[in-house]
A = this chain, B = another copy of it.
């Protein structure tokens, strides 16, 4: 399946950066879920660039649900969300078709689609397409939360600055749900924004790490082979443009730990089976263990190109140079935080539907 993800709850994504509308079809929703347009708007707003750390392109992101909702509730039929592209400026990209931008997907799209891809703003391969994913998550998040499941993502590292780690998860998730910049420590957030601005002034960009925590998941979700919780989440998270790595729990740090150091002792907490540490990030053998799910991604620095970069001319098959003046983020990671929350929410809803029926 190409642009569809999920087993029981599926999302089918369509649209191009500079087309009339982009959108998605969400299928497999339970009937009767209240649909909260304000919540969807709020999530879309969090994805929107705001302030000098992000692109100057303003996306008001109005949206419209054209199916699957009746009298404010899901019907169980597929729910299609459309988001118009109101401010596309195709001219910025007109010369890119021949000279692919290094680090972007221009060349790979050219090969894959045999030269027929819509080149305007990346076409179908644009970060713009994450907006329908965020809107889709806005449909399902209230139901997750009603089931006691909470999800939040913070920018754990950006421009060389590290946010503090999760400590008191309920309070941290609440704080993140209100935060205008997705960090746990506002002071470090300010330092990150300064680092981003400094890179932007140099015509450059920075990468980052996004860390998501999920609380309230039942034990027993996922499969030991192939459809592990880690595998399913990673599969989906790599769709977030610029993500180049995914790790769970202690992640790559486990390479240098001994088994005795990475131990997650099991104990009773009242009636619940819990672990005293969480090096495994809430997953053992591909299956949730009831502890908080912890997943981190690395987001590469945007290959923004204000200074000339080496590339080739696809027509003449010769070396060339490219300079791009288009609007781009000096750091995509802060805006990707809500996308990571959204993608995580959609995958978990699918897993819960698989478990619950």
Contacts and interface: CB of A to CB of B under 8 A. Distances in A.
Contacts of A268: 312, 317-319
A247 B237 CA distance: 12
A141 interface: no
A5 B226 contact: yes
Contact of A19 (B67, B234, B281): B67
Contact of A255 (B13, B261, B299, B355): B299
Interface string A106-139: 0111011111111000011100010000000000
Contacts of A260: 204, 307
A178 interface: no
Contacts of A285: 104-105, 108-109, 125, 241
Contact of A267 (B204, B224, B312): B312
B108 A284 contact: yes
Interface in A234-275: 234-239, 241, 243-268, 271, 273, 275
A3 interface: yes
Contact of A107 (B219, B246, B247, B353): B219
A86 interface: no
Interface residues on A, range: 35 or more
A158 B256 CA distance: 7
A202 to B, nearest CB: 8
Contact of A3 (B129, B160, B225, B357): B225
A20 interface: yes
Residue of A158, A243, A288 contacting most chain B CB atoms (<10 Å): A243
Contacts of A153: none
A60 to B, nearest CB: 18
Given A102-B263, A206-B259, A265-B311, A273 B107 contact: yes
A241 B354 CA distance: 22
Contact of A77 (B14, B202, B317): B14
Interface string A26-69: 01100110000000000000000000000000000000101110
Contact of A207 (B111, B230, B254): B254
Contact of A264 (B21, B103, B123): B103
Residue of A23, A82, A232, A246 contacting most chain B CB atoms (<10 Å): A246
Please provide the 6 A-B residue pairs with the shortest distance between their CB atoms, ordered closest to farther. Answer: A357-B357, A105-B285, A245-B247, A77-B124, A108-B287, A205-B259
